[in-house]
Amino acid sequence: MTKVTQSTSELADKYLMQTGRRLPVTFVRGRGCVVYDDSGRQYLDLVAGIAVNLLGHSHPDVVAALSRQAAELIHTSNLYFTQPQVELAKRLVELSFPARAFFSNSGAEANEAAIKIARKWGAKNRDGAFEIITATGSFHGRTLAAVTAGGQHKYSDPFKPLPPGFVHVDFNDAAAIEAVTTDKTVAVMLEPVMGEIGVIPAAPGYLKRVREWCDRNDLLLILDEVQTGLGRTGRWFAHQHAGVTPDVMTLAKGLGGGVPIGATLANPRADVFEPGDHGSTFGGNPLSCAVALTVLQVVERDGLVGHAAELGELLHASIQDLGARQTRGLGLMQALEFEEPKAKPFQNACLESGLIVNAVDDHTVRLVPPLIITAEQVDQAHELMRRVAG
């Protein structure tokens, strides 16, 4: 049986704001794709801290980079230069497209920066146009602008009045974007694979048509690769599957291998921030940047982008016999959608069986394991899910 110690859950009730429901387990240690609870029980982790731990738990290179940099220099603020920050920016640009980077601490902040870039760009280049077209059901984070951009009423409505300037259309409907574009439009902001709503990949040709529309109408294309970036989908960045390049790209989650970091990359056309426009005390600190550099090095050294593509196919093939009405995904970002509202009981039963999966709603279960997952672990996960699915 999974368990959470009385004191942990009671202390959480008493002292933590109750912003979400937790599953009844307290984790204390992790190694690779396995985590251990406070009774020493082990779990195979197909959630990876919500698509964060690309290299699994306590990867030796991450641990070494953390301790090395912690002993050297942890934080200085951005009043000064630090080497890991510029090196990380250089590496991200080499891996993606000609751009410059701004570093923050989370996906929401990376998107806030992108939204501010779009607004400033509109003020400079499009007579003060400020509206951003986004997809209904997308997820861009929980700050006020990001949650408004997301277009999920359950997350935004309690916080009205919301900032103006966001127009929502159905995902995978390029014609809808074209129909709502006006003089006030400044950008289109999309996830290449919608993650939080249940892993919905961009349809073939969608991003290309949106890119062309943005080019023809002088709009910025902002792609939120917070969840899809850095190898998860079997390419360094998910937009590479579609053969398009955004003007602005946001990253977070996997970048720090578990250490908080966000990044916003803007190409020369969109690179409008000037001194004083934006900032972050912690953003781009030497500790998170040194670890992120190590994560990128290990992903490259160990061929984890190709591995994610390969193991993603294996994982996708393995979830076909679990009674789902649909399975979908790209690389190691997969989902099962059940006809019946049984995603949460399925998730809970998996946890009881020693497997961590993530029910994103009543019908859909998301699988976003570390990129280092092995074929044996995919088999093991499949066997556990098959037993749970009955």
Ligand X SMILES: Cc1ncc(COP(=O)(O)O)c(C=O)c1O
Positions that interact with ligand X (CB under 6 A): 50, 106-108, 111, 139-141, 191, 195-196, 224, 226-227, 252
Shortest spacing between CB 195 and ligand X, in angstroms = 4
139 is catalytic: yes
User: How many residues are present in the chain?
Assistant: 390
Strands (E) located in 136-269: 166-169, 185-190, 193-194, 200-201, 220-224, 248-251, 262-266
Q: Which is nearer to ligand X, 131 or 196 (CB)?
A: 196
Minimum CB separation from ligand X for residue 193, in Å?
Answer: 9
Closer CB to ligand X, 170 or 340, in the complex:
170
Q: In the complex, what is the shortest distance from the CB of residue 77 to ligand X, in angstroms, rounded to a whole number?
A: 21
* Strand ranges for the chain from DSSP E: 27-31, 34-37, 42-45, 100-104, 131-135, 166-169, 185-190, 193-194, 200-201, 220-224, 248-251, 262-266, 326-329, 334-337, 355-356, 358-359, 364-367
Are 57 and 64 a contacting pair, CB within 8 Å?
no
Nearer to ligand X by C-beta: 195 or 234? 195
Could you tell me the two tokens for 341? Answer: 């509202």
Do 324 and 107 meet the contact criterion of CB atoms below 8 Å apart? no
Examine residue 161 and say whether the peptide bond preceding it is cis (omega within 30 degrees of 0).
yes
- Nearer CB in complex with ligand X: 22/68: 22
User: Is 190 or 384 the residue whose CB approaches ligand X more closely?
Assistant: 190
Q: Given 139, 166, 237, 338, which residue is catalytic?
A: 139
Minimum CB separation from ligand X for residue 138, in Å? 7
- Are residues 222 and 188 in contact, defined by beta-carbon separation less than 8 angstroms? yes
Sheet containing 185-190: which strands, arranged edge to edge? 100-104, 262-266, 248-251, 220-224, 185-190, 131-135, 166-169
Pairing of strands 42-45, 248-251: unpaired
Q: Which C-beta is closer to ligand X: that of 126 or that of 241?
A: 241
If the CB atoms of residues 59 and 140 are measured against ligand X, the closer one turns out to be 140
Contact 346, 389 (CB under 8 A): yes
Minimum distance between the CB of residue 379 and ligand X, rounded to whole angstroms?
28
**Cα dihedral across residues 169, 277, 87, 252: positive or negative:** negative
Please say which residue, 146 or 186, places its beta carbon nearer to ligand X. Answer: 146
Write down the least CB distance from residue 347 to ligand X, Å.
17
Q: Are 170 and 159 in contact (CB under 8 A)?
A: no
Report which of 118, 89, 91 is spatially closest to residue 104, judged by C-alpha positions: 89
Which structure tokens are listed for 388?
């749970």
Catalytic residue at 253?
Answer: yes
Pairing of strands 326-329, 334-337: antiparallel
**Residue 257 CB, nearest distance to ligand X (Å)?**
14
The contacts of residue 264 (CB under 8 Å, 6+ apart) are 101, 102, 104, 110, 111, 113, 114, 117, 248, 249, 250, 251
Q: How many Å apart are CA 212 and CA 26, to the nearest integer?
A: 48
Is 3 noted as a catalytic residue in this protein?
no
CB of 218 to ligand X, least distance (A): 25
Catalytic residue among 253, 271, 338, 346: 253
Bridge partners (DSSP) listed for residue 57: 32
**Active site residue ranges:** 139, 224, 253
